[in-house]
């Protein structure tokens, strides 16, 4: 039997990169997925890929920072699959500037995506989780549920040019530790994974024409200077950047029964890089 057989997992930002790898990993272990992407095409594609592989999936696409998103996301799990077992708050992006050049809306966007959106999702999940636990308790059943929030080495150690991103990723650690204490009585394990340098479109080497992503009409530059990637790789004890599947493996560890007595923790998935 697969370790997550029958579990219902929600993964935000799962149309591409690390989020896609997380969704596919959880599905491969038997979970039914609620997937999400800002854009419908990649979100729908991942849902179709999961279904084609023999599991179930529903795509709830759109901006995770929208006021109505959290309720839509949670309702898809409870209405479509009858429960919630795993929540992975993964959606995010970087919008970098030195602090003197960082606008209020730019800073706010980083807090909204990396802290406020996960907060809203967990808040929306609170009532149905309590109801599920109450029902299970009356039946003499005790089930563990999992929340995995995504942080970054930048949130633990800071990173020049990332005042907003680092602040958001630091704040999600505080939310993680608080929810571990608040939801422990409901048998919910709440942990975080802080990523180092993982190969995604956000960390790709900048070519002659720098790539951008469109967020609410803002064309945000993504990518890293090749020489910076090379310098970082030299500081990673394993000698290379990680790949999305390796990042997904770290999240999966916190979703398994083996982590049932681990909560309020942050692990770094960075090949030995710690700051």
Axis-axis angle for helices 17-28, 40-52 (nearest 10): 20
Give CA–CA dist 15/23, Å, rounded. Answer: 9
Please state whether the predicted TM-score (pTM) of the whole model is above 0.85.
yes
> Annotated catalytic residue: which of 93, 165, 252, 261?
165
- Reduced to 3 states, what is the DSSP secondary structure of residue 11? strand
- 165 is a catalytic site residue: yes
Burial category of 232 from C-beta neighbours within 10 Å (exposed 0-12, middle 13-18, buried 19 and up) = middle
Task: Give me the tens of pLDDT residue by residue for the chain, a chain 275 residues long.
Answer: 899 999 999 999 999 999 999 999 999 999 999 999 999 999 999 999 999 999 999 999 999 999 999 999 999 999 999 999 999 999 999 998 999 999 999 999 999 999 999 999 999 999 999 999 999 999 999 999 999 999 999 999 999 999 999 999 999 999 999 999 999 999 999 999 999 999 887 666 666 466 777 787 787 777 666 767 777 778 899 999 999 999 999 999 999 999 999 999 999 999 999 87
Among 19, 127, 37, 5, CA closest to 78: 127
243 close to 124: Cβ distance less than 8 angstroms: no
What is the side-by-side strand order in the sheet with 188-195? 57-59, 32-35, 8-11, 86-89, 145-152, 188-195, 266-269
- Token pair recorded at residue 268: 């770094």
Give CA–CA dist 138/121, Å, rounded. Answer: 26
Give CA–CA dist 251/270, Å, rounded. Answer: 13
- Reduced to 3 states, what is the DSSP secondary structure of residue 207? coil
Domains present along the chain, CATH in parentheses: 8-201+243-269 (3.40.50.720)
Beta carbons within 10 angstroms of residue 34's beta carbon: 30
């Amino acid at each position: 039997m697969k370790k997550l057989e029958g579990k219902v997992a929600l993964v935000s930002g799962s149309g591409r990169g690390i989020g896609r790898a997380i969704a596919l990993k959880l599905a491969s272990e038997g979970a039914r997925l609620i997937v999400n992407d800002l854009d419908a095409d990649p979100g729908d594609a991942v849902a179709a890929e999961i279904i084609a592989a023999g599991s179930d999936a529903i795509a709830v696409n759109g901006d995770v920072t929208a006021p109505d998103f959290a309720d839509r996301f949670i309702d898809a799990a409870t209405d479509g699959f009858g429960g919630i077992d795993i929540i992975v708050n993964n959606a995010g992006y970087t919008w970098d500037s030195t602090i003197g050049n960082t606008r209020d809306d730019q800073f706010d966007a980083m807090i909204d995506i990396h802290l406020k959106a996960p907060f809203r999702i967990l808040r929306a999940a609170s009532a149905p989780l309590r109801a599920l636990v109450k029902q299970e308790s009356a039946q003499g059943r005790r089930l563990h549920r999992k929340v995995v929030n995504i942080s970054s080495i930048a949130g633990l150690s800071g990173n020049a040019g990332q005042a907003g991103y680092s602040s958001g990723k630091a704040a999600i650690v505080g939310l993680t530790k608080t929810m571990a204490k608040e939801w422990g009585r409901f048998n919910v394990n709440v942990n975080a994974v802080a990523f180092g340098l993982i190969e995604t479109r956000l960390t790709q080497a900048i070519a002659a024409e720098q790539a951008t992503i469109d967020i609410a009409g803002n064309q945000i530059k993504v990518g890293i200077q090749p020489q910076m990637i090379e310098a970082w790789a030299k500081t990673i004890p394993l000698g290379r950047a990680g790949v999305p599947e390796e990042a997904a493996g770290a999240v999966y560890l916190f979703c398994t029964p083996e982590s049932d007595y681990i909560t309020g923790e942050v692990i770094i998935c960075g090949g030995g890089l710690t700051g």
